[in-house]
Amino acid sequence: MEVAGSSPAIPFQSLTGRLVRLSAILSKVSPRAYPSFIRARMAASRNRLWMSTGNFGHCHKTGARSMIKMMDATQLPDEWQNAFRRDQAEMPPGPDPLPERRLARLLAAFVVSGMFFMVFPGTVLGVWNLVGISSQREMASVSAAWIQAHGHAQLFGWVGGFIIGISLYVLPKFRGSVCRSIPVGWAMWAMWNTGVGVRWFAGVQAGVHPGTFRVAAALELTVSLLLIWQCTPSGAKYRKGQSWEAPIFAGFAALVFLLAWQLFLAVRPLVSPALPPTPDRILISLAIWTFAFPIVLGYSAKFFPGLIGTAPAYRTGLRVALALLIPAAAGFIVESTSLAAAATSCAVALAAWSLRLFHSKTGNPKTAGVDARYPQFVRVAYLWLAASAALGFGVSRPGVLGASRHAFTVGFLATLIFSIGPRILPSFLNSRELWSARLMRWSLLVITLCCTLRVVSEPLAYGGIVSSAWKVLPFSAFGELAAILLFGCNIAMSVATPIPAWFGREQVNDRMSVYWLISAYPATRGLLVDSGLVTLARMGAVPRSLSLREAAHADGAQPEILVEKLRAFFESRLARSLRK
């Protein structure tokens, strides 16, 4: 019933609908468009809401499930609420281990997929091709498309995958920052592996499928552009003009150019499940010397002084070596073998001298947990690089081009990866240890022996000089496959083992951060929950400043019992190098 002279009554449902519509309209308006007194009221309301509900979700990035668990934050113990307020007031001390773990998972994904392409589409298909060639004793016995598929999987799937993963992990750190987006990194992983896989699959089919070539080339080109975007951020501690930086980014730029050219070739009509032979030969040669070589050179300049004890790299020499790749690239494009071989040989000699590989050591190599001879194999890898460049003078002869490329991809790249990879990859993957130094030694010995047999026997067999050399080729191929399997098994077992502890039981105390414990060692969450931290069981986000003692008091648990269980946990995971 309405009162005379009053406004008509508004039904509750209608009022609610109007408020919802008004809220939707205001939500699309930037807060800067509001008058200053409204902005002040909004800020005060947010603060009152934050204090009254205890919703501290913006302290950490959490998922929907974590936010649901935090909706009733007023029921949190006082210690948890105080810790959230401390996090809000100031940045907690110490690094956050969670972003590092996420980056390590992304790197592990690139390593695993790279090893897959190394073993199956790369090496297994290469062995199959070589066995077919050796049985018929002629190159024509194997499809050119299969050979292209093998080379693409080896160079881009394995080497390219390793380079992208390691670059996303370490390159922004070297520049004082981090990669721009880990989710974009996962998208890059999916696109790169899809592109390389589709390209390999298209090459081993009987029919011609131009669409698959174009999709693969487009995906790979997209990833190369995103790689530059991801690795260019820099922080306050970044120093310009470092010796390692120019070669790496020059290699990235070359990768973009090469993949754009590959897309151009794929768009043109294809008469077979392979790119035209001459452009493909030029493309692979340019990929070897203008993409892989400068990037590996840059990382060598960065890693070698700390790992194998060399003197700091000579910056001017590295830049001149990089400049020599311009006439080398011109020689490959115009098919001038003498120009390309001379330029690459000079670049390799200058690069080895600039890296001080064969100079006197200025420090001790870091050999803990790995084979102590790996610095010598690093030098052997650069000798293979020199051999690859020298063989370029004779690529017009049968078998010499294949020997030159094999000396680069297996002799140089594989030996270098087998030497440095076991030293750095487990460390990057959440500070793990190498599973077996003995497997590392055997993989290096076998790959060196079998690569020597392959590079020596291929020109002899293909050129008809020594007929018995045909029998050596399959043996060398199966030996290289065995070495690759040893390396892959060693890295896989290293990743599969639990994260080791690099501190003893005496360093474990009740002042440790609960957030750090469960972020750096996720298995400790279950241990702490089982020991009485019931609040931790129902919380998705944990304040970084909450200590173990505070969490124990909040739930009525005994800090001494928690500390003792954690000491036993970390003692069981103590790194092997610390047990000796």
pLDDT of residue 135: 62
Kindly report, residue by residue over 187-236, the tens digit of the pLDDT: 999 999 999 999 988 888 877 888 999 999 999 999 999 999 999 998 88
Query: 89 pLDDT exceeds 80?
Result: yes
Q: Provide the mean pLDDT of the chain.
A: 84
pLDDT of residue 73: 55
Tokens of 381: 């890898």
105-119, 123-137, 347-361, range with the lowest pLDDT: 123-137
Q: What's the pLDDT band for 462 if we cut at 50, 70, 90?
A: confident
**Overall average pLDDT of the 237-244 stretch:** 87
Asked if 126 contacts 476 with a C-beta cutoff of 8 angstroms, the reply is no
Q: What angle do CA 230, 234, 236 make, to 5 degrees?
A: 155
Query: 46 pLDDT exceeds 70?
Result: no
Distance between CA atoms of residues 44 and 137, nearest Å:
83
**Overall average pLDDT of the 394-414 stretch:** 94
In the chain, the amino acid numbered 341 is A
Q: What's the pLDDT band for 388 if we cut at 50, 70, 90?
A: very high
Q: What is the DSSP letter of 506?
A: G
pLDDT of residue 210: 87
Distance between CA atoms of residues 87 and 94, nearest Å:
12
Structural Rg of the chain based on CA atoms? 30
**Overall average pLDDT of the 474-478 stretch:** 88
Distance between CA atoms of residues 354 and 291, nearest Å:
19
pLDDT of residue 489: 93
CA separation, residue 163 to residues 123, 148, 152, 251, 274 (Å): 18, 21, 15, 11, 25
Distance between CA atoms of residues 8 and 16, nearest Å:
16
Residue 416's nearest CA partner among 68, 158, 145 is 158
Asked if 114 contacts 82 with a C-beta cutoff of 8 angstroms, the reply is no
Q: Count CA atoms within 13 Å of residue 71 on its CB side.
A: 6
CATH match of 99-496 with 1.10.357.10: no
Q: What's the pLDDT band for 125 if we cut at 50, 70, 90?
A: low
Asked if 148 contacts 124 with a C-beta cutoff of 8 angstroms, the reply is no
Q: Residue holding tokens 């098994």?
A: 489
Asked if 55 contacts 73 with a C-beta cutoff of 8 angstroms, the reply is yes
**Overall average pLDDT of the 72-100 stretch:** 84
Report which of residues 21 and 223 the model is more confident about: 223
* Structural domain boundaries in the chain: 13-53, 58-91+503-580, 99-496
Q: What is the DSSP letter of 399?
A: T
Give the SS3 label for residue 489: helix
Distance between CA atoms of residues 152 and 99, nearest Å:
33
Distance between CA atoms of residues 517 and 570, nearest Å:
11
Give the SS3 label for residue 307: helix
Does the model's pTM come out above 0.85? Answer: no
Q: Residue holding tokens 């790959």?
A: 447
CA separation, residue 374 to residues 181, 421, 452, 550 (Å): 34, 10, 18, 48
Kindly report the backbone phi and psi dihedral angles of residue 547, in degrees, each rounded to the nearest multiple of 5, phi listed first.
-85, 165
**Overall average pLDDT of the 387-413 stretch:** 94
Asked if 499 contacts 431 with a C-beta cutoff of 8 angstroms, the reply is yes
Q: Residue holding tokens 């996720």?
A: 522
In the chain, the amino acid numbered 433 is E
Kindly report, residue by residue over 541-553, the tens digit of the pLDDT: 899 999 999 999 9
Tokens of 201: 């699959």
pLDDT of residue 469: 87
213-227, 315-329, 354-368, 403-417, range with the lowest pLDDT: 354-368
Q: What is the DSSP string of 315-384?
A: HHHHHHHHHTHHHHHHHHHTT-HHHHHHHHHHHHHHHHHHTTTTS--SS----TTS-TTHHHHHHHHHHH
pLDDT of residue 202: 87
Report which of residues 240 and 449 the model is more confident about: 449
Distance between CA atoms of residues 268 and 277, nearest Å:
14
- For 286, residues 6+ apart whose C-beta sits below 8 A from its C-beta are 254, 258, 329, 332, 333
pLDDT of residue 133: 65
- For 572, residues 6+ apart whose C-beta sits below 8 A from its C-beta are none
Tokens of 492: 């896989």
How far is residue 520 CA from its own chain's centroid? 19
- For 342, residues 6+ apart whose C-beta sits below 8 A from its C-beta are 331, 393
Element (H, E) at 12: helix 12-27
